[in-house]
Structure 1
Amino acid sequence: MRMLISVMSLAMLAGCVSPAMDTARSQAPTRVLASEKATALVAECIKFSWQDESVFGVDASAYINNDKAGKQTVYTRGAESFADLTPQGTGTAVSYYAQQPGDAAAMRRLAMLATCL
């Protein structure tokens, strides 16, 4: 039962942030990066680093969404920052989006993302 509630909560959260992500994707990404690592490894690393409470405080949240084509999105609550990860050969192409690109938290998230490449 507890697992069902968690899954339903996560699904509702994903539905709420999707319009914000679609709006952001209609513009150029804040930064485009590449990695030689597999997409799943990069996604897990970004999620883990964005959940670091010592860096982001109580707002240290991160989630992963997978689509059928192998693309993954790592995003924060409210999609204030998110990264689209697309498999590219044996590596990964990363598009980072931030609602407030010059914001200190957005810059920290970008720096944490860069350590995962």
Structure 2
Amino acid sequence: MRILMVALAGVLLAGCAGSTMKQARSQTPYKTLSSNKPDLVVAQCVQFAWQDEAVFGVDASGYLQPGEAGGFTVYTRSAESFIDVQGGALKYYAIQDNWVAKRRLAALATCL
């Protein structure tokens, strides 16, 4: 029963995040970066950095999934911030331009 509840919560979270990400992708990214490292290495590093409770407190979250057109996407709860990593190009999207978005950008910059 507990496993079923966790699976259901994951599906609901992915559904909500998907529509938010689709809308954000129709606009210009908050920041575009590049890296010479393999996409998976960068994505895993960003995921780990965004899960740092010492930096983000209760907002610490980072989920990794395959990208729609290849590569990887790392996103936070409700997809308030997310990054698409594909072919060395990193597109960072933030729903709000606030200190959390800037802090997440600084954390992901350490993974380049």
Q: Same fold (TM over 0.5)?
A: yes
Change (3 A) 1:108 1:72: same
| Structure 2 equivalent of residue 93 of structure 1 | 89
* TM-score normalised according to structure 1 size: 0.87
Q: What amino acid does structure 2 have at the position aligned with 1:116? A: C
Q: Please report the TM-score for the alignment, with normalisation by the length of structure 2.
A: 0.91
Partner of 1:55: 55
Residue in structure 2 matched with residue 22 of structure 1 by the alignment: 22
SS in 2 for 1:28: coil
- Structure 1 spans left out of the alignment, 5+ residues: none
After TM superposition, the runs of 4+ consecutive aligned structure 1 residues lying more than 4 A away are 1-5
> Root-mean-square deviation (CA), in Å?
1.6
Q: What is the CA–CA distance in structure 2 between the aligned matches of 1:85 and 1:47, rounded to whole Å?
A: 12
- Tell me, which stretches of 5 or more residues in structure 2 are unaligned? none
Asked if the contact 2:67–2:84 (Cα under 8 Å) also holds between the matched residues in 1, the reply is no
User: By how many angstroms is 1:11 displaced?
Assistant: 2.3
Deviations 1:23-59 (A, max 9, x none): 1111000000000001111010000000000110011
Q: What percent identity do the matched residue pairs reach?
A: 53
Question: Tell me, what secondary structure is at the counterpart of 1:95?
Answer: strand
Aligned length: 112
User: Within the alignment, does 1:80 sit opposite 2:74 as a pair?
Assistant: no
Q: Secondary structure at the match of 1:96?
A: strand
AA matched with 2:37: K
